[in-house]
Structure 1
Amino acid sequence: MLKGSQAANPDLWRRLGQMPEKRVAKTDHVADSVMDETLLAQHTTASVVENKTVVTIDFATTGDWYPCLFGSIGLDEQGQLFFSEGALARLEDDTHLVFKNAPWKNPGFQEALATALRKGGFEANRQWVSLPTQISFSREEITETELNAWKKQTIRECEAFRPERPFACINAHSIDSLKHRIRVEGTSVVPANMLANLLKGSNQLVITSELDEKQWLWLLTELQQLPDGQRPLLFTSVANGSLPLTALFPLTALFPLMALFPLTVEKQFNLKKGH
């Protein structure tokens, strides 16, 4: 089993990252996707089953579903390596799992879950982990209407923005880097909440590009989990949002941006050629 007494350094983490992650081998997968769907359907219920232990697994803030279910190498608060168990480990008998916002459209997700059910367990950290008997699960997804209502409730009007106060900006590209749970500190790799680190000293967060539904769900869930004193006011400066670029940057600083992204900036200013 994985254990260690020395803090992980960047080189060790790099070498570990190059090691192939052990997953359910495709050679062990004896059924096709149709048989997987049939097996999963046999364990699926329309709602939570009564008189069962209910465990909810929310994938909204999960970067990779596999470690979430089956476990993976992690770092403790001292920066030491350990094996972090997945949500399917140590389940009681007659457990009902609620898969919330799970990636059911991902064939690998269905295959890995069906294979574990078929075998009655899975291997993790060189040990066999047995799944409980009579396991069942249900699905729970946030709807587009619910997500839009959540966004509307969270995003503030432009009048509340204070440019003289510290603020942080994110976009569709940078948001993915915030999902990492580790960072390099000196010569060591330590666990970290990248979003919380970004927001240190700022009580305003501005989204400067369009986000897809998964990114919105991740961001809103992460913000909801922050303590009240650390939760920022949320604004958006996209074309159909509340903040114009002039609220974020001086006009002189926008001239280079207009040369690079003329259509985007013109839309922000409602400019038209010839005016």
Structure 2
Amino acid sequence: MPPIVAVIAPGMMGSAVAKRLTSAGAQVRTLLAGRSAATTARAQAAGMVAASPDQIAEADFVLSIVPPGQALALAETLVPAMRAAARKPTYIDCNAVSPATVLRIAHLVQQSGAHFVDGGIIGPPPDLDSSKTRIYLSGPDAAKVAILQQYGLSMPVQPGPIGAASAMKMSYAGITKGFSALGATMMLAATRAGTAEALIAEMQVSQPALLKWLTAQMPKMHSKAYRWVAEMEEIAAFVGPDQTGDGFYPAAARLYQRIAADFDGPRAETKALDAFCDKSS
């Protein structure tokens, strides 16, 4: 029988994961109580079925795909239902959180009697070529979850205990999103100094691949910046205090917090970033 999978929540990533699963024949449940009409429509388009917490706890697998600042709270919300469930699910935390945070979540989930697997998503929301999106898994029960590869997902098992997949995610996102923060800082500084065109011209000659990557990523960042604040804080915890680079990610968190506020308000800095990217094309 195809597995029953709960995917929470039906955001851009969660709904895309759900669509891959439902297209391959799996039943996918989600929580929709109190969600917006747009979110409900996105869930329905992905083939997701609205369910209560008790019905979520009866699934074979629960995939937690939420903003990192909500990961622990979601587990706390579902623990009573999982504790009461006659047949325990396997709970996979797929969020951008540090190994320390994922261990706290694992402790909560395991106290309910449910199994726990650490997960880390790298890549965009999956489409027909889901190999571009990998959900790394780690922990003793990781191989059991990898069965979902038969239902349209790419789920490599990361050697190591619970926390290994999250460490992989933290280190990868620390490079890519940390680099985006560095790029945004210098794009805005060059714009304020009136040297944006000169910078672009030099990079077109000496760093064309770097310029192409930055200008492709930057416009996608604005609407996601609010999510990346907590992610930078989690990466800071992963790096650890008094370690090399320990001040970089708190600063990146403040940058993304400022970009998120600007995107929701005057859009002065996000427009300046867009203008820089437009000049390089």
**Which TM-score applies when normalising by structure 2?**
0.24
Structure with the higher strand share, 1 or 2: 1
**Which TM-score applies when normalising by structure 1?**
0.25
Structure with the higher helix share, 1 or 2: 2
Which structure exhibits the higher relative contact order, with contacts defined as CA atoms closer than 8 Å and separated by 6 or more residues? 1
Higher-Rg member (1/2) = 1
